[in-house]
């Protein structure tokens, strides 16, 4: 199959206006400045909050690959986060606390779980795919609760953050923050290069018309499985960061509620935009932080706000900003 035929099958091609290049640069610059603001205002919680936003943004980017570019709505994506986190926790409990070991193990184990479950899940479509990913996610959750030697329902406390080659480089909160930022930037650039590549055009084509892509010679299931495994590996990276950030691992990391929150983050920011996955994660977690300080049942308020975004901001917050940009440009 020639690239010309592929381009024809996956139109419209990817085009990134200048503002779409500026936006991620502004986002990452804002994250880079958070430690400076935190030190000037003596608000340490800002560092922890931004750290949490970036960790879940990594997971949301991985999920956006599936939802936005493959049309696969996974309701078990949090399982990859939990598996990556438990890899760190179990290795630490067994006396192995070096990131050079824990990070590859967290990513590889998550990818293997994605491979094993993806082979089964991708035989289905639509609501059946949602339900089977939910089932596998809950299976991982209940396995976590049954790990009595590693805390079971109560979770597992990690003695200290992983070292790097024997050096406690991640012990400092600020150093760990910038490592997390580096992982987020690397994840974003990787996903952006992936969706702009020939592989990414095939994924877009399978989302638009899987039958057509299969007819012109592409193995749709193989491409989707590879994307599913990649998303699983990135979820494992998020789990590695989360375990080291909180120094705690819990089965709650793998609950279906957490998977639902990740889907909300992607939808809130804008499906299939990558930038939107980061903005959606920030919007969700900042809204949670703000509303939970006002009322106990903050989701009662957040729910209607999300409905309004879906109804009146086509394409999420990214779509809303694009509409405002066009109006301002027109004026």
Its pTM stands at 0.90
Residue 14 has pLDDT above 50, yes or no: no
pLDDT for residue 12: 42
Q: What is the DSSP letter of 288?
A: H
| pLDDT > 70 in the chain, percent | 92
| pLDDT computed for residue 15 by the predictor | 47
8 A C-beta contact, residue 205 and residue 223: no
Cis ω on the peptide bond leading into residue 291 (within 30° of 0)?
no
Domains: count for the chain:
1
Q: What tens digit of pLDDT does each residue of 39-90 get?
A: 888 677 889 999 999 999 999 999 999 999 999 999 999 999 999 999 999 9
> What range defines the domain where residue 173 resides?
3-330
Greatest alpha-carbon pair distance for the chain in Å reads 64
Please, what is the average pLDDT of the chain? Answer: 88
Task: Select from 226, 329, 286, 250 the least CA-distant residue to 56.
Answer: 286
Q: What is the pLDDT of residues 236-253, one digit of tens each?
A: 999 999 999 999 999 999
Query: 3-class SS at 149?
Result: helix
The pLDDT, as a whole number, for residue 228 is: 96
Report residue 122's pLDDT band, with 50, 70 and 90 as the boundaries.
very high
Residue 6, pLDDT > 60, answer: no
pLDDT digits (tens, 9 = 90+) for 212-241: 888 888 899 999 999 999 999 999 999 999
- Note whether 206 and 227 are within 8 A (CB): no
DSSP 252: G
């Amino acid at each position: 199959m020639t690239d010309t035929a592929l381009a024809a099958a996956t139109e419209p091609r990817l085009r990134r206006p200048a503002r779409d290049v500026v936006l991620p640069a502004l986002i990452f610059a804002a994250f880079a400045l958070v430690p400076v603001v935190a030190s000037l205002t003596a608000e340490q919680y800002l560092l922890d909050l931004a750290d949490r936003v970036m960790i879940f943004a990594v997971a949301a980017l991985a999920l956006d690959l599936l939802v936005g570019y493959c049309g696969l709505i996974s309701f078990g994506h949090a399982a990859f986060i939990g598996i990556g986190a438990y890899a760190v926790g179990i290795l630490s409990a067994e006396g192995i606390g070096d990131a050079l070991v824990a990070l590859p193990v967290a990513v590889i184990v998550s990818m293997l779980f994605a491979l094993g479950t993806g082979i089964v899940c991708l035989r289905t479509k639509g609501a059946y795919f949602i339900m089977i990913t939910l089932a596998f996610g809950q299976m991982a959750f209940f396995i976590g609760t049954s790990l009595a030697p590693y805390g079971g329902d109560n979770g597992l406390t990690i003695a200290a953050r992983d070292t790097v080659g024997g050096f406690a480089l991640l012990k400092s909160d600020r150093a760990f923050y910038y490592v997390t930022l580096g992982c987020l930037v690397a994840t974003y650039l990787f996903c952006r290069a992936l969706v702009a590549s020939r592989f990414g055009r095939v994924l877009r084509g399978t989302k638009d018309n899987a039958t057509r892509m299969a007819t012109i010679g592409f193995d749709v299931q193989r491409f989707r499985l590879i994307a599913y495994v990649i998303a699983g590996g990135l979820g494992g990276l998020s789990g590695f960061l989360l375990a080291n950030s909180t120094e705690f691992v819990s089965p709650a990391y793998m609950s279906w509620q957490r998977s639902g929150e990740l889907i909300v983050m992607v939808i809130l920011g804008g499906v299939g935009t990558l930038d939107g996955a980061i903005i959606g994660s920030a919007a969700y977690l900042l809204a949670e932080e703000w509303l939970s300080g006002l009322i106990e049942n903050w989701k009662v308020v957040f729910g209607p706000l999300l409905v309004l975004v879906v109804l009146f901001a086509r394409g999420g917050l990214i779509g809303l900003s694009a509409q405002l940009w066009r109006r301002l440009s027109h004026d």
